[in-house]
Structure 1
């Protein structure tokens, strides 16, 4: 099947091959876009939900001697806030990357996509790190 496909593609002109590649890319873009949007939402929900939970927890311990908890909680809230901001940055970089791909500047699109994936990884790392900080803070006091 592959040899037949390669032979068929070799019969096409350069313009026809370009149009075929463009159609193939356009067909896969909704799937890629769906994955990007889901990733952005997951990072926002993880960090935002954790921050809300920590604030609710802080509301419950405010009547106790919370001075021993406050430093760990503040560091964790800072991590969650930066992690939530990462999702907004990823959304922006994904938009810019898609714009570059649409104007056929693949190298710049790849650069922005790589940056978006790096920021997304940072958002997830911040969630895990902040959660560990909360766990250590609660366990040690």
Structure 2
């Protein structure tokens, strides 16, 4: 259905869960900017949405905690002159934000130590650098 947003295969948001508000936009548009409600504010209730699987909800809420107001994510789009283009931009941005927030965490880094060869190369480079500096000195510096 065209009114659904596919975020991931396990996360599809129904269009009925999205709330859109329109207002006057700043920026380009000439005289029409004062009469056209082309700015779009798209709101999605992350905390109460039935579309978000239970295993993803805590991860999304934690990652978006700084952007949520009472569990609701709001995205504004006003970069285009037409309302339809701004609606599409806001929906694309919502999908991008939710896809990033629902991504699994990266694998933990396994700490490693430098190899013996790497240590020897580092010390050899230090020794060569000190030789260069030592050769620059005049006899009065010693």
After TM superposition, the score normalised by the length of structure 1 is 0.31
Report which of the two has the higher share of helix.
1
Q: How high is the TM-score relative to the length of structure 2?
A: 0.31
The structure with more strand, counted as a fraction of residues: 2
